[in-house]
Copies of this chain bind each other. A is one copy, B any other.
Amino acid sequence: MASESRTFIEEARRAQIITCAIEVLATQGYARTSLARVARLAKISTGVIPYHFGGKAQLIQAVVAEVARLATDMMVPRILAQPTATEGLRAYIEGNLEFMRLHRKPLLALMEIVTHERGDGGGPGPYDEQAEIAIADLEKLLGWGKRTGEFRDLDPHSMAVIIRGAIDAVPGRLVRDPHLDLDPLIRELVTTFAIATRRQR
C-alpha cells in the first residue's frame, strides 16, 4: 500500500487537504476550486499541495479515491447481503441514496469532479472509468436477476445506464434545494425499478 511509505504526519496533512478540497468542491464548484482556495481553507500555504500530491490532478484523484472508498465501504456489503437480485437492486438504490444523505459533501465533490474533469485534448476524462465500473457492477446485478428469473428479459447494459442516470440525477436536485426531502424520491425510485425490472406476467 502506498500509504505505508508515508509518515503519520504526512498522512494527516493529506487527509486534511482532501477534506478541505471536498469542502471547496462541494460548496464552490469545480471551476472555483483552486489550490489557493483549498490551501486558504486548510490554513496552509499554497505550495504544500503540489508538494504532497504532486499536482492538482493527483489531489483530485485522491479525492475521488477517498469518496469511492467511503461509498464502497457503505454500499458493497449491504448489497451482497441480500438473498435475491430484487432485494439487491432495492439495497443498491437505497444504499446510494443513503450515502447521499450521510455524505452529501463528498458526493457533491465527486459529482463536480466527474462532470468537469476532462482529458488533455478535451476528450473523455480520467474518471469516466469510475462511472464505467458503476455501470458494470449494476449490469452484473441485473444479469443475476435475469438468470434467476426474477427479472424480465431486459437489456442489462441499457437498464444499468437508466438506473444510474436516475440515481445520479439526485445530487443535482440536492444542490438546488439542500432541504429537499429524499424519502419520496427513494420510494419512487425503488418502486419504479422494482416494477420495471420484474418479470411481467
Interface residues of A (CB under 8 A from B): 27-32, 115-116, 118, 121-122, 124, 128, 131-132, 154-155, 157-159, 161-170, 172-173, 175-176, 184-185, 187-189, 191-193, 195-196, 200
Known A-B contacts A168-B169, A176-B128; the reply to A189 vs B158 at CB < 8 A is yes
Set B115, B159, B188: member contacting A158, Cβ < 8 A: B188
Set B122, B131, B176, B189: member contacting A172, Cβ < 8 A: B131
Q: Are A28 and B122 in contact (CB under 8 A)?
A: yes
Q: Are A175 and B124 in contact (CB under 8 A)?
A: yes
Q: Are B169 and A164 in contact (CB under 8 A)?
A: yes
Q: Are B196 and A192 in contact (CB under 8 A)?
A: yes
Q: Mind listing 13 A-B residue pairs with CB under 8 Å?
A: A31-B31, A115-B116, A116-B116, A128-B176, A154-B188, A155-B184, A159-B188, A163-B166, A164-B169, A165-B168, A166-B166, A192-B196, A195-B195
Residues of B contacting A191 with CB < 8 Å?
154, 196
Set B118, B154, B155, B189: member contacting A162, Cβ < 8 A: B189
Residues of B contacting A32 with CB < 8 Å?
118, 122
Q: Are B169 and A185 in contact (CB under 8 A)?
A: no
**7 closest residue pairs by CB, A with B:** A165-B169, A28-B122, A158-B188, A29-B118, A196-B196, A165-B166, A162-B166
